[in-house]
Amino acid sequence: MKHLLLLIVLFSFFLSACDNRNKKITEYISGSDSVAIKYYTGDGKMDNVVAVKIISDKKIIEQLAVMVGADAMNEVNKCGYDGSLHFFKMNQVIQDIDFRMNDVNCMQFSFIQDGKIRASSLKPEAKQLLESVRK
């Protein structure tokens, strides 16, 4: 019985260690009222905004929140930006998040959390969502 209990404890610890999500950012932005998405030229530079979309659909906001926190990275790659997300609650920006989606070697969300720059992987599903919203 002791061995079974020990095995269960070790298994739970292993599962929690493999969970690479940033739950804190997801919880913080998931209740947003709207999201403003700025798209840049797509060459990694923030110089020209070519489109701005305002999203108030709660389903899309929730999808974005989950995608931003889905796969936390240990380090932030400085490889440019293709756009930014600005999450709003009660007409106040609560979180700015930059994203890079047009460089297959560097697809990420980056943001400030607890005074530090954090990043998470931008998966193909997130790129697809961001592209579909832009149309």
Tell me the three state secondary structure of residue 23: helix
- pTM, entire model: 0.82
Mean pLDDT of the chain: 86
**Residues 2-18 pLDDT 10s:** 443 433 433 344 334 44
Residue 76, CB-side half-sphere exposure with 13 Å CA sphere: 16
Distance from the Cα of residue 132 to its chain's centroid: 17
CB of 133 within 8 A of CB of 53?
A: yes
